Structure 1
Amino acid sequence: MDDLDDENRFMTTKTYLKTIQAKGYRNLEMAEPFEWDNLNILIGANGAGKSNLLEMIEFLPDALSGGLAETFKKRRGLTSVIDLDRALPSEMELMWELSGNALLTQGELKYHLIIEGDSYGRFSVNQERLDETGLDSSLMPEAYLDFKYGEGMAKPWKSGNGLQKMPENLKSPQKLALGSLSSSQLYPVLESVREQALSWCFYNANDMNIRAIKHEVKEIDALQQFLAADGRNLKMVLYNLIQSEKGDFGENLDRILRSLYTGHRLLKFPLIDSQHFELSWQFDRPGKPLKLDQVSDGTIRMLCWIAVLAHPNPPALVCIDEPELGIHPAWLPILATLITEAAEHTQVIISTHSSILLDELTDQADKVVVCALNEVGKATFERLDAEALEEWLVHYKLGKLFRSGHPELGGWPR
């Protein structure tokens, strides 16, 4: 196989999040890397760090797509992100370890980032490094990027000379070198990491723009295959996934909707004009079909999670903060099934306060991550010891133990 074929195979391989580590990011202070599974269910009290953890993971794609200044602005400024209780100027140290790269089968890719900030909101990238890890312990990690204080080196693909100096026009202590070196031919390892991180999808149920979903009319756009962070392109995504020749999303969607509404017949997308359409929901009962602006907010939210979790070609990582918000309790078992089925095809991280949803995820107890604050107010994360709960789970469901304040789970107010 020639080099071009190798590169194409490389670029189409999904990369999964193996571990993360954070120090100085809000209240996160991880002494050791935290390892992720295919399904991860975050539980804990308000303020225990669940949303901060998801936000830290999203920091990488945000910084790659919008730059560091916009990334801090999105998080209400640098001084609200970097832990200023540490000595000034404070450092924020972050790490993402990725696995599943077809051309690096002997190891993983670890991206390490250190940003320094002060109380005036000024910042600089002190260190940025991408290494291949997980190799023979006697070998040094192979570096693909090594950047410090505005100066850096990167390794071109299959370079026998190792790291080479970065071009002068790409050097900046306020930008990520990983985002600047975007040549798929010259730096395919860096480009693959960048593209995979940018493909991750993050959702917060509080941010779903129900009004826009119901009322906005948009032009037909076949490129919109994934739900936007606020859900406003729901109609377009459902239309495109149903029309796609890949997979059986339409049949799967009908099956799920029949479990929600016994009278469901089908969704249709009648044209308004040559460039616009609407969504029409037909039922096995007298009366006109319902338009999207006539259905309940809870139904809209459930349609959003179907578009995300039942996607026939999901992104490498899907994160949802409190998906149960606004969903009827009777539908939470269906939501739990969507979550577990999605985790068979991609990596899923959710956070939840719902004991009902946890009841339905009892057989996934080993996927639960307990979030709590230590004695100095720092967030800690520990995977639930399912074996320690084995006898309890014979008699009680997971949500019941959560509601009762079982010490292994925590997070329930007393």
Structure 2
Amino acid sequence: MVSRLCIAGYRSLRDVRLEIEPLTVVTGANGSGKSSLYRALRLLADVAQGRIVPSLALEGGISSVLWAGPEQFSRGMKRGEQAVQGTVRKAPISLKLGFSSESYGYAIDLGLPVPGGLFGRDPVIKAESLWTGLVLQRANAFAERNGPSVTLRDRTGQRRQAHTHLQPFDSMLTHCANPEDGAELLSLREQLRDWRFYDHFRTDIEAPARRRQVGTRTPVLAGDGADLAAALATIREIGIEGELDAAVADAFPGGSVDVAVSDGYFEVEMLQHGLLRPLKATELSDGTLRYLLLVAALLSPRPPSLMILNEPETSLHPDLLSPLARLIAAAAKRSQIIVVSHAERLVSALTKAGGRRITLAKELGETVAEGEERPMWNWPAR
């Protein structure tokens, strides 16, 4: 389970350090930095897929996502006695992402490229570290990357040079993970690839979830929900017996969901109380379809180590928020879950169910976690 999450230099997240639990709810006003936190988590997962450079390119490149304020705020700036202005920079410009657990931690430091090249908006990986425990120290590092050089600790505890010419756009997670002396890197890479993100399922008339699809066993719902019918059928076949029916009945008393099969094509059908025939996916309301998508994601027969839901309350009627909270709380017993939401009814219900509430706010353009103590953290040295 991830215990600490740390981000520095990304958009409004100048230096955020959070303690997270099996169920964590992140909330705050519009513009407080919730979306930036969600995107930062996606960037961490993209490192293991080798996609962090194109992911940042979609946001305008490294220069477009860096913290735009001063490196530090003076006391006068914080008290409003002095205008916010640039200070003498002591550290290099960078974007840092990291997390840790009781078992191990990982951090990456991304910097600016050398001026004048063709790829001036691509980030350069300056440093990476993988260590055991919550906090990076010299003695507990399994793997260290500095510039193009990667050092690994082998099974005897000896350190060796594993790579000397790693490209600045390649991570040691994708190029140095092997079962011999890079087993820890391999394990971490697979864990990051297992993280699951669900963000604003489409529910318009042309949404992928409304279409008939060829049915195959689907233990993991796709990010766009296109395989909803197959995912629901798989839950019914190999999931926990009765959970699907209970989740639907909790939100829609007297209702049930089924999957119609015709010549190998699957289509969602839902019978609602008072109707003489089931409604097909094309007939369902946006909120009903979105709730079914969340049911399919949260009841996955192959639970991930970490699932992140971004504003799952979108399009849902307020009466569906309590059933959704119960569904999320139950899923948190199988997976660690982070929910990013501004729906107070959902946030309160998840907090009452044992979730940790983190409220983000803005101070001088910087995202801060209200009332949270900053945990100890060390970034890898360049």
TM-score by structure 1 length?
A: 0.76
Superposition map of 1:232-247 within 5 A: 232-244=226-238, 246-247=239-240
What code does the residue aligned with 2:140 have?
A: E
| Residues 265, 143 of structure 1: alpha-carbon distance in 2 compared, 3 angstrom cutoff | closer
Alignment partner, residue 379 of structure 1: 367
Structure 1 residue 289 displacement after superposition: 2.4
Structure 1 residue 112 displacement after superposition: 1.8
| Residues 383, 339 of structure 1: alpha-carbon distance in 2 compared, 3 angstrom cutoff | farther
Q: Distance in 1 between matches of 2:167 and 2:138?
A: 27
What code does the residue aligned with 1:97 have?
A: S
Of 188, 192, 212, the match for 2:183: 188
Superposition map of 1:318-397 within 5 A: 318-361=307-350, 363-364=352-353, 367-374=356-363, 376-382=364-370
Structure 1 residue 234 displacement after superposition: 1.4
Q: Distance in 2 between matches of 1:208 and 1:163?
A: 52
8 Å Cα contact 1:48/1:371 also seen in 2: yes
8 Å Cα contact 1:154/1:166 also seen in 2: yes
8 Å Cα contact 1:127/1:147 also seen in 2: yes
Superposition map of 1:263-342 within 5 A: 263-270=254-261, 272-273=262-263, 275-283=264-272, 287-342=276-331
Give 5+ residue unaligned stretches, structure 1.
Answer: 1-15, 100-107, 386-414
| Residues 355, 133 of structure 1: alpha-carbon distance in 2 compared, 3 angstrom cutoff | closer
8 Å Cα contact 1:210/1:300 also seen in 2: no
Give 5+ residue unaligned stretches, structure 2.
Answer: 72-88, 374-382
Secondary structure at the aligned position of 1:311 is classed as coil
Q: Distance in 1 between matches of 2:205 and 2:45?
A: 25
What code does the residue aligned with 2:189 have?
A: R
| Residues 84, 161 of structure 1: alpha-carbon distance in 2 compared, 3 angstrom cutoff | same
Of 199, 221, 229, the match for 1:227: 221
Alignment partner, residue 162 of structure 1: 158
| Residues 254, 179 of structure 1: alpha-carbon distance in 2 compared, 3 angstrom cutoff | same
Structure 1 residue 62 displacement after superposition: 1.3
Any idea what the Cα deviations from partners look like across 1:49-88, whole Å, max 9, x if unmatched? 1111121122121122143321212333222222254569
Structure 1 residue 205 displacement after superposition: 2.2
Secondary structure at the aligned position of 1:228 is classed as coil
Q: Distance in 1 between matches of 2:15 and 2:297?
A: 30
Structure 1 residue 143 displacement after superposition: 1.8
Q: Distance in 2 between matches of 1:58 and 1:318?
A: 11
8 Å Cα contact 2:360/2:367 also seen in 1: yes
| Residues 319, 181 of structure 1: alpha-carbon distance in 2 compared, 3 angstrom cutoff | same
Any idea what the Cα deviations from partners look like across 1:315-341, whole Å, max 9, x if unmatched? 111111111110111111111111222
Q: Distance in 2 between matches of 1:153 and 1:197?
A: 21
Q: Distance in 2 between matches of 1:183 and 1:30?
A: 33
| 1:255 matches 2:246 | yes
Structure 1 residue 23 displacement after superposition: 1.4
Q: Distance in 2 between matches of 1:265 and 1:235?
A: 14
8 Å Cα contact 1:184/1:191 also seen in 2: yes
Instruction: Give 1 or 2: higher helix fraction.
Output: 1
Structure 1 residue 381 displacement after superposition: 1.4
Larger deviation: 322-331 or 251-260? 251-260
Q: Distance in 2 between matches of 1:147 and 1:130?
A: 9
Q: Distance in 2 between matches of 1:207 and 1:261?
A: 21
Structure 1 residue 296 displacement after superposition: 1.0
Structure 1 residue 42 displacement after superposition: 1.2
Of 141, 151, 160, the match for 1:153: 151
Structure 1 residue 283 displacement after superposition: 5.0
8 Å Cα contact 1:68/1:175 also seen in 2: no
Secondary structure at the aligned position of 2:266 is classed as coil
Any idea what the Cα deviations from partners look like across 1:197-228, whole Å, max 9, x if unmatched? 11111122266677333443333332x32122
What code does the residue aligned with 1:131 have?
A: W
Secondary structure at the aligned position of 1:277 is classed as strand
Q: Distance in 1 between matches of 2:149 and 2:203?
A: 41
| Residues 208, 318 of structure 1: alpha-carbon distance in 2 compared, 3 angstrom cutoff | farther
Q: Distance in 1 between matches of 2:331 and 2:233?
A: 20
Superposition map of 1:133-144 within 5 A: 133-134=133-134, 140-144=138-142
Structure 1 residue 362 displacement after superposition: 5.3
Structure 1 residue 229 displacement after superposition: 2.0
Secondary structure at the aligned position of 1:141 is classed as helix
| 1:126 matches 2:126 | yes
What code does the residue aligned with 1:318 have?
A: M
8 Å Cα contact 2:23/2:354 also seen in 1: no
8 Å Cα contact 2:9/2:15 also seen in 1: no
The count of corresponding residues between Structure 1 and Structure 2 is 349
What code does the residue aligned with 2:187 have?
A: S
Structure 1 residue 286 displacement after superposition: 5.7
Alignment partner, residue 179 of structure 1: 174
Q: Distance in 2 between matches of 1:263 and 1:365?
A: 29
